[in-house]
Amino acid sequence: VSTLASRNRVIQRNVEERTAQLKQVNQTLLLRERAIESSTSAIVVTEAREGNPTVYVNPAFERTTGYSAADIMGKSPRLLYGTDLDQHGVSEIRNAIQEHRDGHAVMRCYRKDGTMFWNDVTLSPVRDEEGRVTHFVSIQHDITAMKAYESELHHQATHDALTGLPNRVLLHDRLLQTIQHAARKGHELWLVSIDLDRFKFTNSRLGHKGGDRLLQVVAARLRAAVRPLDTVARLGGDEFALLLLAEHGAHAPRADQLQRVLDKLAEPLVLDGVELFLSCSAGIAVYPADSDDPHVLAERADIAMYRAKEMGGNNYQFYTAAMNEQLGERLRIESALRTALERREFELHYQPQVDTESGRIVGMEALIRWRHPEMGMVAPNRFIPLAEETGLILPVGSWVLRTACEQLRQWQCEGRENLRMAVNVSARQVAEPDFVQSVAAVLAETGLSPHCLELELTESTVMNDVEHAISVMHQLKKLGVKLAIDDFGTGYSSLAHLKRFEIDVLKIDQTFVRDLTVDPDDAAIVTTIIALAENLDLEVISEGVETEEQIAFLRQHGCQQMQGYFFSRPVPASAFITVLEENEARLAA
């Protein structure tokens, strides 16, 4: 009895221990089941036999894919791939199953409703006590949002935020790939560097927000002017680039492809009620003639673009080897120009303006000259465009205006009171908000009467922003300053605008005067401008007069004033006194 009782106690204790162990195991299994059921990651268990039928999916799988457990049970998870089997991840998972090893892949998968999602799949084999693979378990994460974020980051890294165009990084990548393709085909390609003309002036008038909208319009026009296989990129500021490929059946791009771009850009534009006229300077580097290196091609396209700017803008130039030397000169001039004013290297020369009937000098035009200690006299056409481009024209123009007014006031104090001083004004100066106030300040400080000052504006200056130009003209006229349109006939002003301009003088450009006695077209243009000025009650001055025949023609057709080499070249102030004295003596005789 004692033995039986002892044995019963041992059995009872073993039963209790075993029951406790089973309870703990059940609790552990229940915890694991709850954890799997609660997991936000999709978990799939499949058998390790042909077809890999599914034996378990957790609720996260159902939420992610839209498939219920009943839909997928007994079927292969491969149904998530749909027909999109040509992707690396599918092969990786298939090989991992065949080789009974761990596998990982990121794949495009498709929900029950057909929508695509990016699926990060980690696969592991499940082995029994003897080490045989009986099942596979895969843990899946929907990383669509992460992929979208990565895509956005990549887009931001390779595209311009303002215009959405490819940036310099993506352009370089495409250029590299396109060069490789062109090399196989034996084709040419063009890399075109584009810079908007007078953008800084336009941007200052529109403000930064208006300037941004203008750049977006430019980007849209450039995209519309090329084919989808060509590339339009924004490199920064108002700098753009085109990668032009040969059209179908050709071995090289053609000039008309680029001309379409320039024409599209030049179409009329009204932004925020402001009428704008856009043009650009473009430089072209050709693969393989100019280089097969993307960086070198880009540099040479820029060099050609700068050459186009030096030629007045609104044109395109192909790169040539000689441009390297010209660029070196440009850099030397730009560097020296930045210190020329403080080193007092600028000086003014004056060219007389003569009354046609009496022959008397009634005024003069102030023309800037640059005397560099090493380069000598630097021609205005070599440094004025650079000064415009770099913004140095603002302090230089201010110096010219003040110096010219001081000089005329000095001559008036010496007894020559009826002279008038003409001073050229740049578009950048006119765009400055305080330009009119600065003119008023110079007049007040020098003591010069406003009617003795004539400001010359080019057609491009006033037409770039017509409404602003009209406003500035109105304020200058209130000061009493005279206004002239310089180089009239070479720009694109219309009569509709001309009648709104508060101007006093039209200056006929010397390109029409030079051959007016031998070219009927030039003669017709000159007589038309003179008649137009008379009808609008404006004075008219002819530039570039060099011969007696030109004088006779202009006098016959009613031109009121003239200037040119026939009367005098532009000379320093000291020599201009001699010109004045000789003119006075000739009239007295």
DSSP characters over 526-540: HHHHHHHHHHTT-EE
- Residue-wise over 163-198: b if at least 16 C-beta within 10 A, else e? bebbbbebbbebbeebbeebeeeebbbbbbbbbbbb
pLDDT confidence of residue 31 = 67
pLDDT confidence of residue 544 = 92
Is the pLDDT score of 129 beyond 70?
A: yes
What percent of the chain lies above the pLDDT cut of 90? Answer: 54
Is the pLDDT score of 351 beyond 70?
A: yes
Q: CA 70, 72, 77 angle in degrees (round to 5)?
A: 165
- The CATH architecture assigned to 39-148 reads 2-Layer Sandwich (3.30)
C-alpha span between 350 and 366 (Å, rounded): 5
pLDDT confidence of residue 2 = 84
Q: Where in 160-238 does DSSP place strands (E)?
A: 189-196, 231-236
> pLDDT band at residue 447, thresholds of 50, 70 and 90?
very high
What is the Cβ-side half-sphere exposure of residue 444, based on CA atoms within 13 angstroms? 7
pLDDT confidence of residue 495 = 61
pLDDT confidence of residue 97 = 93
pLDDT confidence of residue 407 = 96
Q: What is the mean pLDDT of residues 215-236?
A: 92
Q: Which residue has the higher pLDDT, 30 or 365?
A: 365
pLDDT confidence of residue 323 = 82
pLDDT digits (tens, 9 = 90+) for 357-401: 999 999 999 999 999 988 889 888 888 888 887 889 999 999 999
C-alpha span between 119 and 42 (Å, rounded): 10
C-alpha span between 256 and 454 (Å, rounded): 43
Paired sense of beta strands 561-562 and 54-57, if any: unpaired
C-alpha span between 183 and 298 (Å, rounded): 18
Residue 390, strand partner residues: none
pLDDT confidence of residue 469 = 82
pLDDT confidence of residue 279 = 87
Closest CA to 453 of 469, 468, 440: 440
pLDDT confidence of residue 352 = 96
The full 3-state SS of 480-528, as one line of letters, equals CCEEEEEEECCCCCCHHHHCCCCCCEEEECHHHHCCCCCCHHHHHHHHH
CB 380 within 8 A of CB 368: yes
pLDDT confidence of residue 494 = 53
**What is each CA distance from 430 to 49, 70, 193, 321, 510, in whole angstroms?**
83, 78, 28, 37, 24
pLDDT confidence of residue 458 = 80
Residue 377, strand partner residues: 371
CB 342 within 8 A of CB 396: no
Assign 195 to helix, strand or coil.
strand
Is the pLDDT score of 163 beyond 60?
A: yes
pLDDT confidence of residue 25 = 65
Beginning with the edge strand found earlier in the chain, give each strand of the sheet holding 116-127 in spatial order: 54-57, 42-47, 133-142, 116-127, 103-110
pLDDT confidence of residue 215 = 92
pLDDT confidence of residue 569 = 94
**What is each CA distance from 547 to 16, 319, 355, 415, 567, in whole angstroms?**
130, 40, 16, 31, 10
User: What are the structural domain ranges in the chain?
Assistant: 1-38, 39-148, 159-320, 331-588
Q: What is the mean pLDDT of residues 59-65?
A: 92
pLDDT confidence of residue 242 = 94
Does the fold of domain 331-588 match that of domain 39-148? no
| First vs last C-alpha separation in the chain | 166
pLDDT confidence of residue 518 = 87
Average pLDDT, the chain: 88
DSSP H or E run through 461? helix 459-464
pLDDT digits (tens, 9 = 90+) for 476-494: 999 999 999 887 765 545 5
- The CATH architecture assigned to 159-320 reads 2-Layer Sandwich (3.30)
Q: What is the mean pLDDT of residues 447-455?
A: 95
> pLDDT band at residue 137, thresholds of 50, 70 and 90?
very high
Residue 397, strand partner residues: none
* Residue carrying the six token digits 């007014």: 405
Collect all residues with Cβ–Cβ distance below 8 Å to 515 and sequence separation of at least 6: 522
DSSP H or E run through 110? strand 103-110
Token reading at 575: 């020599």
> pLDDT band at residue 23, thresholds of 50, 70 and 90?
confident
Residue 159 is classified by DSSP as B
Q: What is the mean pLDDT of residues 318-344?
A: 83
The CATH class given to the 331-588 domain equals alpha beta
> pLDDT band at residue 579, thresholds of 50, 70 and 90?
very high
Ranges 90-94, 140-144, 302-306, 497-501: which has the least confidence: 497-501
Is the pLDDT score of 329 beyond 90?
A: no
C-alpha 182 chain-centroid distance: 27
CB 439 within 8 A of CB 479: yes
| Integer Rg of the chain from CA | 40
Is the pLDDT score of 149 beyond 60?
A: yes
